[in-house]
Every structure is written in structure tokens, then in C-alpha cells.
Amino acid sequence: MGWMILLWIVLGLLGLLFAYMLLIIISSFFADPHKAYDKNSRYYRFLLNSATGLATVIIRIKLKVTGIEQLPQGRFLLVGNHRSKFDPILTWYVFRKYDLAFISKYENFEVPFFGRIIRKCCFMGIDRENPRKAAKTIIQSVKLIKSDECSVAVYPEGTRNYGDGLLPFHNAVLKIAQKAEVPIVVLVVEGADAIQHNFPKRKSVVHLDIVKVIPADEVKEKTTAELGEDIEQSMLCKLKEYEQ
């Protein structure tokens, strides 16, 4: 009799999971993957965050976060290192309270279902080869912050780094914080690149460390080159700690 109850519980959970995935699929068709939205949808945020939370359980990811107490009260620009496709996924989940809108390559909006969902959460595409279009993305980011819709997240390296250290920074993205007059939160993610190798045999431990918060008045006073150098040194210092 006990195994029958267990079987019904399992079937019930599978049914709920199927219904949840169906909800995500249907909801995604009401979002335009090519449109830059200027309103952060609470409904789509819920779908995004709940799906990410479920995925961390299934994939067995243990998150270790430090420095969260440094976060400012209002909106901010978050910058981080980028070694894994899991970096933004885990970052938006850990900082879900702050409604991060990532600046991303356009290909990510073509990911089935979730590419549409992140659009409704105000994620933005950027054309790195076209300075005029890239400038429009920066302006759009500033508007999102100033209208209190989202905080914005970006990777100054511009793309994933498959080696050690950091790739050269694209300091122009730091203008977002200057124009929006908000602090810059510096994040280092370590261990996310091991997830695809660990799953399904073992769990993965991923560290997300806020290593520095640059106040808005300091952001305004410095040039983007000075800010970039400051951020880069802070990140490298933390990364070296993990190499020891």
C-alpha cells in the first residue's frame, strides 16, 4: 500500500512539473523576442526566477554568496567576470530581489521560450560591431534605471573568457552608471564553468562574491578608463585568491 501512495505522489509531482513547463511555453508566445521592453513584467520575472530556482535544485548547484550586505538601497549597475553561460543565470537568481536586466548578445533572445521571457524582463541586446546601435542600448539602460524598472547588469569583457584572468574591458558600458548616477557593484563568479562537467555525477559549488561597490559620486568623478582599471584590479585580486 505504501508504494502505491509513493507512486501517486511521484505522478502528481510530474503532473505539476508538466503543467508548469506548459505554462512557461504558452506564456513565452506572448512576448516578442525582437522587442526591447521598457516595463519589467512581474509575471515573467516570477517565471524566470522560479524556473531558475528549480534548475539549481535539479542540477545540484550550491550557491555561496558573500558581500551582499554591501548592496546599495536603490538601483545600480552590476559588472562581473564572465567564464560560463551559467554566470548570468545564477546571477539574476541570486539578485532576484533587484530585478537585474542583462545586456546580452542578440543570439540569447533566440533561445526557445526563455529568450522571449527574458525580453519581457527588460533584457537588452547590444551590437558590439555598431557603435551607434551600442549607444542606443546604453541610453535604454539608463532609462530603465532612472525609471526604477530595473538594475542593469553587464560584462565589461564583452564575451565569455575561456582562459585565465580577464579579457580587455569595454569601458564604454560604464557610462551607464555615470549617466544614471548610480553606484557600480563589482561581482566575481567562480566555479560556474565546472557545472557542465559535474552534472549529473556530482554537485557544483559556485561562489558569487561582491568584491567592491563604487559609490555614485566616485563614479561621476572618474573617467570610464579609471573606473575600468579599478574594477579590473578588484576582480583580478579576488580571482587570484581562488587560484591559491
- For residue 49, being part of any structural domain is answered with yes
pLDDT of residue 67: 96
Nearest CA to 95 out of 113, 114, 116, 80 is that of 80
21 is written with which cell numbers?
513547463
What pLDDT score does 163 carry? 83
CATH number of the domain that residue 209 is part of? 3.40.1130.10
pLDDT of residue 212: 95
Does 25 fall in a domain?
no
Q: Is residue 180 part of a domain?
A: yes
Residue 120 domain-assigned (yes or no): yes
User: Which cell goes with 193?
Assistant: 564553468
DSSP-assigned states of every residue in the chain? -HHHHHHHHHHHHHHHHHHHHHHHHHHHTTS-TT---SS--HHHHHHHHHHHHHHHHHHTEEEEEE-GGG--SS--EEEE----THHHHHHHHHTGGG-EEEEE-GGGGGSTTHHHHHHHTT-EE--TT-HHHHHHHHHHHHHHHHTTS-EEEE-TT-S---SSS-PPP-GGGGHHHHHHT--EEEEEEESGGGHHHHTTTS-EEEEEEEEEEE-HHHHHHS-HHHHHHHHHHHHHHHHHHHH-
- Exposure b/e, 145-171, CB count within 10 A at least 16 = b: beeebbbbbbbbbbeebeeeebbebbb
Tell whether 16 is covered by a domain: no
Q: Are 147 and 65 in contact (CB under 8 A)?
A: no
Range of the domain at 134: 31-243
The single residue listed with the C-alpha cell 567592491 is: 212
Per-residue pLDDT of the chain (244 residues; tens, 9 = 90+): 566 777 667 667 777 888 889 999 999 999 999 999 999 999 999 999 999 999 999 999 999 999 999 999 999 999 999 999 999 999 999 999 999 999 999 999 999 999 999 999 999 998 877 878 889 999 999 999 999 999 999 999 988 998 888 999 999 999 999 999 999 999 999 999 999 999 989 999 999 999 999 999 999 999 999 999 999 999 999 999 988 6
pLDDT of residue 10: 67
Would 13 be classed as within a structural domain?
Answer: no
Q: What is the predicted pLDDT for the residue at 82?
A: 95
Residue 191 zone, left/alpha/beta (φ > 0; ψ -120 to 50; rest): left
Write down the pLDDT at residue 128: 78
Comparing CA positions, the residue from 71, 69, 91, 67 lying closest to residue 215 is 71
Residue-level pLDDT at 186: 98
Nearest to 38 by CA among 104, 136, 122: 122
Q: How far apart are the first and last CA of the chain?
A: 55
Number of domains in the chain: 1
In-domain check, residue 65: yes
Which pLDDT score is estimated for 2?
A: 65
Q: Is residue 141 part of a domain?
A: yes
Predicted pLDDT at 19: 87
